A and B are shown apart, each in its own frame.
Chain A
Amino acid sequence: MDEEIFVCRCEEVTLREIRDAIRSGHTTLSELRRLLRVGMGPCQGRGCREIILREIAKQTRVPIEKLYPAKFRPPSKPVPMGLVKNNGV
């Protein structure tokens, strides 16, 4: 068996887990985010988003250009809660 490859470093999700999830029908990034928490950690998916989209593209045979990368919400960097509490938007 191949050694584990961590795709989402923040949430420690492996390539195998992602492939299994896609194979069992979770073929959008939004679903994978809810299921595995990929791309939901402090880096907000900067490192793994494209690798995951490429995996989805490979398995669903939909070109990556046609895939939707899921929603982006602020904050895009970790912000201590105390700061928001005192100066909130």
Chain B
Amino acid sequence: MNLIEKHPILQFEHGKKVKFTFDGKEMEGFEGEPIAAALHANGIKILSYTEKYKRPRGFFCAIGKCSSCFVIVDGVPNVRSCITPLKEGMAIQTQYGRGKFSQEVQKDED
């Protein structure tokens, strides 16, 4: 992970290390930290592609206000990855366009 090892002022106390997947690829991150931070630490900058022009999108504000960081989490689209905490075993996917519920999630909802 691309982490700051040493800092003149700060000491980073990361939580428990957990495994998650991004588009099926296994990655590591820290429990409770935002999904977007975990992805960025793993070198993932593109979180979604836009509906109309298929433009790549990453996060922008990182405080839950700009909605630029949508991803699909465990089948649920449009999750603000910058303020959603990472959990063990999360299956995160790049979101294409406005996002669709996966079939399993739809079944749960019904």
Residues of chain A touching chain B, judged by Cβ–Cβ distance below 8 Å, are 6, 9-10, 12, 41-43, 46-47, 77-78, 80, 82
Contact = CB atoms under 8 A, between A and B. Distances in A.
Contacts, number: 31
Contact of A43 (B53, B66, B76): B66
A12 B60 CA distance: 15
26 contacts: A9-B60, A9-B66, A9-B68, A10-B67, A12-B50, A12-B51, A12-B52, A12-B55, A41-B67, A42-B67, A42-B70, A43-B65, A43-B66, A43-B67, A43-B68, A46-B65, A46-B66, A47-B66, A77-B64, A77-B67, A78-B67, A78-B78, A78-B80, A80-B76, A80-B78, A82-B109
Contacts of B51: 12
